[in-house]
């Protein structure tokens, strides 16, 4: 999907940037991601679903792969972990808004990677 700089894109871009800040402030998630995937250059929340006793997350990490997991609010344990390449995840998306969100997250990840190289 091609990005055109629309208002919707701008709003979603800001939400993704805010989600990165929230994740980076959660030491439990940061440690989990670091242990599982090494250096984390960027991480954005694609979905966050509060449940009865857990929060369910789907993140895009480094623009390369999608990580999903449950975080227990009772004992702060992470479980039900899955990951997949972004390419495979993109094939599963049906809605235009989900495809747009993924495109923006990838664009943000590429920008982060490029700015870290310089």
Indicate whether 13 belongs to any domain: yes
Please, are residues 108 and 13 in contact by the beta-carbon 8 Å criterion? Answer: yes
| Number of domains comprising the chain | 1
Grouped pLDDT means (10 residues each) for the chain, 118 residues: 89 97 96 95 96 96 97 95 97 95 95 64
CA distances from 97 to 12, 51, 81, 85 (A): 10, 23, 25, 20
Indicate whether 1 belongs to any domain: no
pLDDT at 112: 73
Task: Give the predicted TM-score (pTM) of the model.
Answer: 0.91
Indicate whether 2 belongs to any domain: no
Range of the domain at 79: 7-117
Indicate whether 98 belongs to any domain: yes
pLDDT at 111: 82
Indicate whether 39 belongs to any domain: yes
Other C-beta atoms closer than 10 Å to the C-beta of 68 total 16
């Amino acid at each position: 999907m091609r990005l055109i700089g629309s208002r919707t894109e701008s709003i979603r871009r800001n939400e993704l940037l805010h989600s990165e800040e929230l994740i980076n402030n959660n030491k439990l998630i940061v440690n989990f991601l670091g242990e599982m995937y090494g250096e984390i250059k960027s991480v954005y929340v694609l979905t966050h679903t509060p449940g009865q006793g857990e929060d369910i997350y789907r993140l895009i990490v480094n623009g390369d792969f999608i990580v999903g997991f449950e975080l227990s609010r009772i004992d702060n344990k992470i479980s039900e972990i899955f990951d997949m390449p972004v390419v495979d995840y993109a094939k599963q998306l049906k809605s235009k808004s989900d495809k747009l969100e993924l495109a923006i997250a990838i664009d943000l990840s590429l920008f982060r990677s490029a700015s870290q190289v310089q």
